[in-house]
Amino acid sequence: MLRFLPALTLLAMLGPVVAGLWGTALPALGHLPAAGLTGPSLDPFWDLFNWAGLGTAVRLSVMVGLVATSVSLTIVVFITAGWSGTRSFHILERMLSPLLSVPHAAAAFGLAFLIAPSGWISRLLSPAFTGWDRPPDLLIVQDPLGLAMIAGLVIKEVPFLLLMTIAAMGQAQPRRSLLVAQSLGYGRLTGWLKTVFPRVYTQIRLPVYVVIAYSMSIVDVAVILGPSTPPTLSVQIVKWMSDPDLSMRLTGAAAALLQLALVIGALGFWWCGERIVARLGHQWIISGRRGQFDPSIRIFALGLGSISGAAILFGLAGLAVWSFAAFWSFPNILPDGFTLRTWARHGPDAFATLGETFLVAGIAVLLALALVLGCLEAEHRSGRGLTLRGLWLLYLPLLVPQTAFLPGLQTLLLNLGADVGRLPVIFAHLVFVLPYVFLSLGDPWRSWDSRYATVASALGARPWIVFWQVRVPMLLRPILTATAVGIAVSVGQYLATLLIGGGRVSTLTTEAVALASGGDRRAIGVYGLMQTLAALVPFTLALIIPTVLWRNRRGLHE
Partner 1 sequence: MNKGLILRKVCILRAGIPLIEVDYAIAAGEILTVMGPSGVGKSTLLAYLTGTLATTFTGMGQVLLDGLDITKYPPHARRIGILFQDDLLFPHMSVGTNLAFGMPPGGSKASRLAQIEEALSDVGMAGFADRDPGTLSGGQKARVALVRMLLSNPRALLLDEAFSRLDAELRAQVRDLVFQTAKKRALPVLMVTHDIEDAQDAGGTIIKLKSLSKG
Residues found near partner 1 in the complex (CB under 8 A): 382-384, 449-463, 469-470, 473-474, 476, 550, 552-556
Angle ∠(468,471,476) on CA atoms, nearest 5: 90
Query: Please, what is the minimum distance in Å from the beta carbon of residue 446 to partner 1?
Result: 14
Residue 336 phi/psi, 5° resolution? -65, -30
**In the complex, minimum distance from the CB of residue 97 to partner 1, in angstroms, rounded to a whole number:** 25
Provide φ and ψ at 453, rounded to 5°: -65, -40
SS3 325: strand
CA gyration radius, the chain: 24
Q: Which is nearer to partner 1, 275 or 451 (CB)?
A: 451
Q: Least distance (Å) from partner 1 to the CB of residue 429?
A: 32
Q: Which spans in 51-196 are helix H? A: 54-83, 87-99, 104-115, 120-125, 147-172, 174-183, 188-195
Q: Toward partner 1, which CB reaches closer, 87 or 554?
A: 554
CB of 485 to partner 1, least distance (A): 22
What gap in Å lies between CA 20 and CA 15, rounded to an integer? 8
At its nearest, how many Å lie between partner 1 and the CB of residue 172? 24
Specify the residue, 351 or 468, whose C-beta has the smaller distance to partner 1: 468
Q: Which is nearer to partner 1, 345 or 557 (CB)?
A: 557
Residue with smaller CB distance to partner 1, 98 or 463:
463
Q: How far is the CB of 454 from partner 1 (least distance, A)?
A: 5
CB atoms within 10 A of CB 97: 14
Beta-carbon contacts of residue 546 (< 8 Å; ≥ 6 apart): 476, 477, 480, 556
* 128 vs 388, beta carbon nearer partner 1: 388
Instruction: Please state the closest distance from residue 445 (CB atom) to partner 1, in A.
Output: 16
* H runs (alpha helix) in 231-247: 233-241
Q: Give me the phi and psi of 228, to 5 degrees please.
A: -115, -20
Tell me whether residue 387 or residue 552 sits nearer to partner 1 (CB atom): 552
Minimum CB separation of residue 8 from partner 1 in Å reads: 22
Q: What is d(CA 155, CA 307) in angstroms, rounded to the nearest whole number?
A: 9
Among 357, 409, 76, which residue's Cα sits nearest to residue 211? 76
Residue at 20: amino acid letter = G
463 or 502: whose CB is closer to partner 1?
Answer: 463
